[in-house]
Amino acid sequence: MGVANPRRQQTPAQRPPQPYALTMRNITLIAVHCTATLAGRPFNVSAIRNMHIAQGWSDIGYHKLIGLDGEIWDGRPEAAAGAHIKGHNAESLAVCYVGGIGADGRPADTRTPAQLVALKFVLQDWSCRFPDAIIRGHRDMSPDRNRDGRVTRDEWLKDCPCFDVRDWCRSVGIDPR
């Protein structure tokens, strides 16, 4: 027979330390990126993770990475804010495909057929799970300098992801909103 310790019940349950928030964030933006690497040149999630950590980040900046053969790698946990568009990381998810630069060294839509399938899969999944989120390319989030309500080519800070995300989404039956 023991005497109940009244303090015991007041002690909060011990949890192992969690590196990331356990609850999902409010997602208002799904952003598409490219690695800005030469068409056909392979790149994988551990190489990009190492690169981003080497530049002082806690982890890879994206939540998903799509390899040349359509591999879908997990990057940063979805519950954790990424590091991919300044000013938009807190409420967004980021997917990045390997490529984006043509053989002539200029920005180009270099997505392989397998990457098209994989990207559609990721965007459909996120779009269903986060119906309030808009889907945009990195370049579409550039500041609208002349405030005409549209971000035009002359306003792009980068070419990333080197294709029109809204047009492509509509062409494969995904509403970019």
Which residues are the active-site residues? 33, 62, 138, 158, 160
**Bridge-partner residues for 65, per DSSP?**
73, 96
Coil vs helix vs strand at 114 = helix
Is residue 68 part of the contact set for Zn ion (CB under 5 A)?
no
- Hey, what are 126's tokens? 């996120």
- 147/153 with CB nearer Zn ion: 153
Judged by CB under 5 A, the residue of 135, 138, 159, 165 near Zn ion is 138
Binding window for Zn ion (CB under 5 A); candidates: 31-39, 71-79, 112-120, 141-149: 31-39
Residue 117 CB, nearest distance to Zn ion (Å)?
21
Judged by CB under 5 A, the residue of 30, 33, 112, 119 near Zn ion is 33
Residue 14 CB, nearest distance to Zn ion (Å)?
40
- Hey, what are 160's tokens? 């990333």
Helix (H) or strand (E) holding 93: strand 92-97
The Cα–Cα gap between 59 and 85 comes to 15
The Cα–Cα gap between 130 and 124 comes to 10
The residue ranges that bind Zn ion (CB under 5 A) are: 33, 138, 160
